[in-house]
Chain A
Amino acid sequence: MLNSFNQTPFLHGVITIGSLILLTIGLVGALTKKNLFKIFLSLAIAEASLFIYFIGMHFEVGKVAPIVTDEVTKFSLNMVDPVPQAMILTTIVIAIAVLSLALSFVINYFKLTNNMRVNQMDELGEGK
């Protein structure tokens, strides 16, 4: 019975459901919270869930990393696809750069208006 947990379709199903639940939690946090800092934290959770989904769906049970070492001496078809890993590597660095740029704007906004709650940001004329 334990062997049925090691098949690839079960793993893909778990990854799909789990990372989409994490995406839901991140989106709900970004849409309903009123503190600006909490919104960025939820967006970071949503980004991480998509990285896990992308890498996980290209994985099949029994395959190894695409690196030649002393044990795995040749490139064979038993290796994971290297192209999605290269894309996610670039994306992680870009995500942190954009997030830190956004947080520098948050710091500047707080220094100007001393306000962190999205309800009360009415410089453009809207709001209660």
Chain B
Amino acid sequence: MIGLIVLSIFITLIILAVLIISNEDLPHSVILFMGFGLGSVILFFLFSAPDVALTEAVIGTGISGVVFLVTLLQIRSKEVNR
């Protein structure tokens, strides 16, 4: 049971990572990155590591997301890949 859950969460994380690096809208990428952090919190909980899950939950979603978003508010650029 746990093997299938871990496999499905890994597939979700891989799809999320591909969407993050290929998206042209930068605030959308930051919101998807916070979802990536949530997925890794669930993985840490399934691996019997509650301390690491708590730390990644508050840092990966709260502090990291805010720092990225405020940087975007200062930059206000669109991503053009050329």
Are B3 and A11 in contact, with the CB atoms below 8 A?
yes
> In the assembled complex, which residues on chain A have CB atoms less than 8 Å from the CB atom of B51?
85, 89
Q: What 1/0 mask marks residues of chain B from 1 to 27 whose CB sits below 8 Å from any chain A CB?
A: 111101100100110011011000010
Query: By DSSP majority rule, is chain B's interface helix, strand, loop, or mixed?
Result: helix
Is A116 touching B75 in the complex (CB atoms < 8 A)? yes
- Complex alpha-carbon distance, A76 and B48, angstroms: 15
Q: How distant is the Cα of A85 from the Cα of B45 in the complex, in angstroms? A: 12
Among B6, B14, B50, point to the contact of A25 (Cβ < 8 A): B14
| B10 contacts across to A, CB distance below 8 A | 14-15, 18-19
Secondary structure at the A interface, as helix, strand, loop or mixed, is: helix
Complex: A90 Cα to B10 Cα, angstroms: 24
Number of A interface residues in the complex (CB < 8 A):
52
Chain A residue at minimum C-beta to C-beta distance from B50: A65
Q: Check B77 against A22 for contact (C-beta < 8 Å).
A: no
Interface string of A1-28 (1 = CB under 8 A from B): 0100111001100110011011001101
Q: Which of B32-70 contact A (CB under 8 A)?
A: 33, 36-37, 40, 43-44, 47-52, 55-56, 59-60, 63-64, 67-68
| Of listed B10, B51, B52, residue having the most chain A CB within 10 A | B52
Which one of B18, B55, B75 contacts A37 once the chains associate, using CB atoms below 8 Å? B75
Question: Would you give 22 A-B contacts (Cβ < 8 Å), ordered by A?
Answer: A2-B1, A6-B1, A7-B3, A10-B3, A15-B6, A26-B17, A29-B20, A34-B79, A35-B77, A35-B79, A41-B20, A44-B64, A48-B60, A55-B47, A55-B49, A56-B43, A65-B48, A80-B49, A88-B49, A89-B51, A92-B56, A116-B77
